[in-house]
């Protein structure tokens, strides 16, 4: 149990690990990685039955819970819309996270062939309907969070920000998500959220 507690304490770092994209955008009190994980798992719980029949709800929720676990050790490495702003190459990110997830899950009997490791690998591979659905919910949670921050005026759009020089407001988060969606439910949710986000932008412009 000593190894279990040590691994759990490291995993708890996700409660304090802030999502880097929001930090770079200078969002006031941005969410943690753990908060994002909860959001993705909740979306999987609520929308799996509206997805492809091949999507397994229980597996999707479990997959959502482990999908960012490696970031307890690697930190959150955001995906940017433009490669020139990507601080760590996708290949290097994958290597770091694969090493971390193995260590974090080992105390729970989840070695390279373990159930939890296989959930993480399936998510990373994006080849099954369930993994594609979970990834879409990951992107949708990000867009929902952008909508929430826009509605609550949680950043100052007039401040110069070199990290987001090519996009206005929180547009980059939608630009990053749009080409990566794979499912009909993901695209439907994205369209509705983006419409509401643009409405919020319009409302602010009229003030």
Q: Residue 169 sits in a domain of what CATH number?
A: 1.10.3210.10
Q: What is the pLDDT of residue 111?
A: 54
Q: What is the pLDDT of residue 26?
A: 95
CA distance 90 to 92: 6
Q: Which helix (H) or strand (E) holds 175?
A: helix 171-177
Residue from 152, 191, 187 nearest 31 by CA = 152
pLDDT tens track for 45-96? 999 999 989 999 999 999 999 999 999 999 998 876 666 666 777 788 888 9
SS3 163: helix
pLDDT exceeds 90 at position 121: yes
pLDDT average, residue stretch 1-27: 93
Residue environment code for 23-58, b if the CB has 16+ CB neighbours within 10 A, otherwise e: ebbebeebbbbbebbebbbebbeebbeebeeebbbe
State which residues form the domain around 150.
2-206
Q: What is the pLDDT of residue 149?
A: 98
Specify whether the CB–CB gap between 187 and 142 falls below 8 A: no
Q: What is the pLDDT of residue 203?
A: 85
pLDDT exceeds 90 at position 107: no
DSSP 49-104: GGS-TT--HHHHHHHHHHTTTTHHHH---PPPSSGGG-SS-HHHHHHHHHHHHHHH
Q: What percent of the chain has pLDDT over 70?
A: 93
Q: What is the pLDDT of residue 100?
A: 92
Q: Give the up-direction half-sphere exposure of residue 65: CA atoms within 13 A in the CB hemisphere.
A: 10
pLDDT exceeds 70 at position 207: no
SS3 30: coil
pLDDT tens track for 142-181? 999 999 999 999 999 888 888 788 889 999 999 999 999 9
User: Other CB atoms closer than 10 Å to residue 90's CB: what's the count?
Assistant: 11
**Max mean pLDDT range (97-106, 156-165, 190-199):** 190-199
Q: What is the pLDDT of residue 28?
A: 97
Q: What is the pLDDT of residue 169?
A: 94
Q: What is the pLDDT of residue 114?
A: 81
Specify whether the CB–CB gap between 39 and 145 falls below 8 A: yes
pLDDT average, residue stretch 105-114: 71
CA 93 centroid distance within chain: 14
Tell me the backbone φ, ψ of residue 32, rounded to 5 degrees. -90, 170
Number of domains in the chain: 1
């Amino acid at each position: 149990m000593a190894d279990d507690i040590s691994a759990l304490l490291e995993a708890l770092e996700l409660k304090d690990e802030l999502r880097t994209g929001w930090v770079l955008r200078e969002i006031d009190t941005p969410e943690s990685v753990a908060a994002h994980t909860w959001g993705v798992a909740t979306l999987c719980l609520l929308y799996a039955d509206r997805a492809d029949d091949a999507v397994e709800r229980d597996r999707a929720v479990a997959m959502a819970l482990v999908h960012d676990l490696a970031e307890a050790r690697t930190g959150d490495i955001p995906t940017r819309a433009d490669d020139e702003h990507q601080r760590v190459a996708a290949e290097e990110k994958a290597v770091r996270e694969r090493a971390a997830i193995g260590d974090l899950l080992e105390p729970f009997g989840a070695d390279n062939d373990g159930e939890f490791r296989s959930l993480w690998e399936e998510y990373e591979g994006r080849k099954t309907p369930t993994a594609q659905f979970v990834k879409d919910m990951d992107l949708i949670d990000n867009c929902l969070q952008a909508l929430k921050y826009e509605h609550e005026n949680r950043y100052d759009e007039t401040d110069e920000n070199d990290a987001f020089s090519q996009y206005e407001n929180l547009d980059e988060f939608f630009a990053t998500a749009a080409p990566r969606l794979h499912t009909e439910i993901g695209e439907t949710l994205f369209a509705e959220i983006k419409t509401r986000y643009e409405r919020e932008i319009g409302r602010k412009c009229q003030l």
